[in-house]
Chain A
């Protein structure tokens, strides 16, 4: 049974750095073809892909947010961590981690975490 769960602060101040952790089970990120992605959704708005990390530690980032994002993994802990620097109120959103169903660039996301709402406010 595949599960993912996001954790992190519910509130961050502008200019601070956000660190989110995705803890998963039911699969291993050391298995060929596996990847974990981060996606966010501002309240009432559409989904936005942020980043992806592959089983072989390849990393991919949204072009528009690339300078602010870092994704990493701890295979032994079954965790993926996303950091986003210089947070702004427009970054207020529910942040999801999701498993990619394969190694293709445009793979689908077959399992999602419940999401964690992050509010950016002073």
Chain B
């Protein structure tokens, strides 16, 4: 059971927009700790996609965007492409656990 809750799966057709939620609590996202998002292709290490809630590292397409409100954060992907079909994880910090926490991961399927 992960501290941050993500839907196990989401799907969308090519060209559509999908969002992946990351729900926490008052000791992590609700305490205004940064939320970061990673994309993990099969058999590879996670790749930083969004940092500090809303920022994209250099090289990440602007089709990917992040937002945060209250105890939740979201990753939005617009103009879905076949190559987006993979796993996504959110990450934050939890003051009760005094440590970094990850979401359980979401598998994105492009229909």
CA distance A48 to B48 in the complex (A): 16
- Chain B residues near A37: list those with CB within 8 A: 100
Kindly report which residue of chain A lies nearest to residue B105, judged by CB atoms: A46
User: Cβ of A96 < 8 Å from any Cβ of B?
Assistant: yes
| 4 cross-chain pairs, A with B, having the tightest CB-CB distances, nearest first | A106-B93, A49-B100, A108-B36, A112-B45
16 contacts between A and B (CB under 8 A): A46-B2, A49-B99, A52-B100, A60-B99, A63-B99, A96-B45, A101-B48, A104-B34, A106-B34, A106-B36, A108-B34, A108-B91, A110-B48, A112-B45, A113-B45, A114-B44
A48, A104, A109: residue with the most chain B Cβ atoms closer than 10 Å: A109
B residues bordering A, Cβ < 8 Å?
2, 33-34, 36, 38, 44-48, 51-52, 57, 89, 91-93, 97-105
Query: How many pairs, one residue from A and one from B, have CB atoms within 8 Å of each other in the complex?
Result: 64
Q: Are A105 and B93 in contact (CB under 8 A)?
A: yes
Q: How many residues does chain A have at the interface if contact means C-beta atoms less than 8 Å apart?
A: 24
Which residue of A has the minimal Cβ distance to B44?
A114
A48-B102 CB under 8 A given contacts A105-B93, A112-B45, A113-B45: yes
With CB as the reference atom, state the residue of chain A lying closest to B29. Answer: A106
- A interface residue numbers (CB < 8 A to B): 37, 46-49, 52, 60-63, 96, 98, 101, 104-110, 112-115
Which residue of chain B has its CB nearest to the CB of A113? B45
Q: Which residues of B are found within 8 Å of A98, using beta-carbon distances?
A: 45
Nearest Cβ in chain A — how far from B92, in angstroms? 6
B105 touches A47 (CB 8 A): yes
Q: Nearest Cβ distance between residue A103 and chain B, in whole angstroms?
A: 12
**Residue contact B104 to A60, C-beta cutoff 8 Å:** no
CB < 8 Å: which of A63, A104, A108 contacts B97? A63
| Bound-state Cα–Cα, A52 to B93, Å | 13
